[in-house]
Amino acid sequence: MCGIVGFTGKQQAAPVLLDSLSRLEYRGYDSAGLAVRNEDRPIELVKATGRLKNLYNMTDGGALLTGCCGIGHTRWATHGEPTQTNAHPHVSGLETGVTAGPVDSDVVGVHNGIIENYEELRDKLLRHGYSFYSSTDTEIVIKLVDYYLKKYKIGPIDAINRMMVRARGSYALALMFKDRPGEIYAARKDSPMIIGVTEDESFLASDVSALLKYTRDVYYIGDHQSARIVPGEVHFYDLNGDEVQAQPTHISWDSEAAEKGGYEHFMIKEIYEQPRAVEDTLKSLIKGGRIDLSAAGLSDELLKDMSGVRIAACGSAWHAGMVGQFLFEELAELPARAELASEFRYRKMLADGKELVIVVSQSGETADSLAALRAAKQKGLKTLAIVNVRGSTIAREADCVLYTLAGPEIAVATTKAYSAQLAALYALAVETARVRGRIGSEDYERYISELLALPEKIREALGEKERMQWLASKFAHAGDVFFIGRGLDYDVCLEGSLKMKEISYIHSEAYAAGELKHGTISLIEKGIPVIGVLTQGALAEKTLSNMAECRARGAYLAAVCGGGTSVAGEDADFALELPETDWHFAPSLAVIPLQLLGYYTSVARGLDVDKPRNLAKSVTVQ
């Protein structure tokens, strides 16, 4: 996620802004920038790609930017590549892509969030004589505020309110206006923003960790609220422009806890960010009730003509690919194979030249996945990357790119990025099925409706936290854990088992339930935990029989049920019911309790959940 900061008071703004931005680095970013003004002199901009230290060095620690009022930003690219021109702050004037120096614009601003209807807003502004120097949605929304300022000859708060009525999406905006020296204006919907004040200074930031050094008394600006911030004071307004009263909150967290938004670990924070990650990803692909893959460069013709798909990935990304494999076959009746990238890259890759190779990767830097991509390109195959990091190597080298919008994922064990990958693969499989005439409009619309309902159902599934915490306490000293299922349930077991292994260090296996009797069931003995995932209707009933076989050998049975399958008390020692969803998309719900189980088992064992031993967030070595 992007990070935004602001300051207005008596001391020089730039050093405060840089210090505050440094406390937001954990949020992940690829560029940064500042805008500072000294009384009624022009606003000065400085923007840099890469690490914050580049901006620090460019401004000599802020000393080269004089002025006591300013805003700053660390950018996690969503619209537009990570370049200096696309870095924030952005301006309303005609300055084409100023990256350092004074600007003459009436509005200068920074933004965290995603403007969904940015295309229609851009077209509107183009019709009114505006031009654009960047490929960001932020520049559009800042120019929209400027447009209302001039069209209606109104003040900043009224112009911001008009923008909020017109723009759809999420935003935490901090703006400076040429004719309002010393003042910062803010607007918020969905994206976090807090404002802190002391006797004669005011601060703004994406979260409290950026402010704790300066103040512990903060205001949480509400959705669709705007604010006028002056030294030592903040005034909040509703959409009608009426001032609303707000009470400050005293923050007792330490700064490390604040970075995690009050959660104990980044992993649990990211588990709870999944509804938003899935929603943002789906909303970037589903517009006006239809799936639109044009931004990824995937045409109907490509989807129609391809002879099959190969999904190459590693770890959890491969687990997501396994779900994709199933759905391409099930929905689009298209031959599909999920390949371990570390194997695929060395194989002959017997392809007819018309297969699409899909490389799934959160980081976009995994060496084996990158090698698989290059091998596919060498064979002349069309390649698609599904990645979470804009501008990453895999994203840059693939022919087509579909971005997941999970935001930066800090914990080594992936959760929200995996869920966002599932969402992207669902949309891809459903759209492919439609284009190839395998599903009609009725099913198409039903699937889309089910997809858009997933974030809320994931949120509901997260409600089982306490029960999974209880179950984890029972598994904390287990020697082996088995996850069993069939079809998509087996694919979810793969992810559940990896979560258990990689952060609790307990040996675990995911097993196709029907395969157990071919040898591995010899390992089942009294007390061994066996988790059955049961969301796939008739297939789940068969898994129930396999669970009974384990029960007969003394296993401790836990059942994760959905799709109408229920488990009677005597059939399992623990059972959990998932919210209802179309069975094709059940993995998004079934994985939630398994993530929580792995997380709480690791916590129960007192391990370093976010940085498990021997592991790296991105495996850039082969």
Residue positions annotated with a catalytic role: 2, 617
CB closer to ligand AGP, 136 vs 363: 363
Regarding 619 and contact with ligand AGP (CB under 6 A), the answer is: yes
Rounded least distance, CB 615 to ligand AGP, Å: 6
Whether 409 contacts 26, CB under 8 Å = no
Pairing mode of beta strands 382-387, 243-244: unpaired
Q: Of 1, 103, 413, 506, which lies in the binding site for ligand AGP, with binding defined by CB under 6 A?
A: 413
- The pair of three-digit structure tokens given for residue 58, joined into one six-digit string: 């460019």
What's the token pair of residue 79? 């619209």
Longest Cα–Cα distance of the chain, Å, equals 81
What are the two backbone dihedrals, phi and then psi, of residue 108, each rounded to the nearest 5 degrees? -135, 135
What mask, x for binding ligand AGP by CB under 6 A, covers residues 414 to 443?
x-----------------------------
- Total residues at the site for ligand AGP (CB under 6 A)? 16
The reply on whether position 392 binds ligand AGP by CB under 6 A is no
Our CB check for ligand AGP shows the closer of 78 and 134 to be: 78
CB of 278 to ligand AGP, least distance (A): 16
State CA 327 to chain mean position distance.
23
Alpha helices in 436-566 (DSSP H): 441-461, 465-475, 488-504, 538-551
Asked if residue 499 lies in contact with residue 597, where contact means CB atoms within 8 angstroms, the answer is yes
Cα 461–465–471 angle (5° rounding)?
115
The tokens describing 116, both together, are 């969904």
412 binds ligand AGP (CB under 6 A): yes
Residue 502 in the binding site for ligand AGP (CB under 6 A): yes
Please give the Cα distance from 171 to 221 (Å, whole number): 12
Closest to 69 measured CA to CA, from 4, 20, 106, 16: 16
Q: Is 340 in the site for ligand AGP (CB under 6 A)?
A: no
CB of 451 to ligand AGP, least distance (A): 22
> To the nearest whole angstrom, how small is the minimum distance from the Cβ of residue 497 to ligand AGP?
11
Contact flags string 287-316 toward ligand AGP, x per CB under 6 A: ---------------------------xxx
CB closer to ligand AGP, 85 vs 362: 362
How far, CA to CA in Å, does 354 sit from each of 26, 308, 386? 42, 7, 19
- CB closer to ligand AGP, 523 vs 619: 619
Q: Are 260 and 266 in contact (CB under 8 A)?
A: yes
Q: Which is nearer to ligand AGP, 82 or 315 (CB)?
A: 315
Whole-number CA gyration radius for the chain: 26
Task: Give 8 or 419: the residue with its C-beta nearer to ligand AGP.
Answer: 419
What's the gap between Cα 561 and its chain centre? 27
Q: How far is the CB of 591 from ligand AGP (least distance, A)?
A: 12
Window 347 to 386, contacts with ligand AGP (CB under 6 A): 361-363, 366, 369
For β-strands 355-361 and 382-387, DSSP reports them as: parallel
Residue 397 is a binding residue for ligand AGP (CB under 6 A): no
Residues that bind ligand AGP (CB under 6 A): 314-317, 361-363, 366, 369, 412-414, 498, 502, 618-619
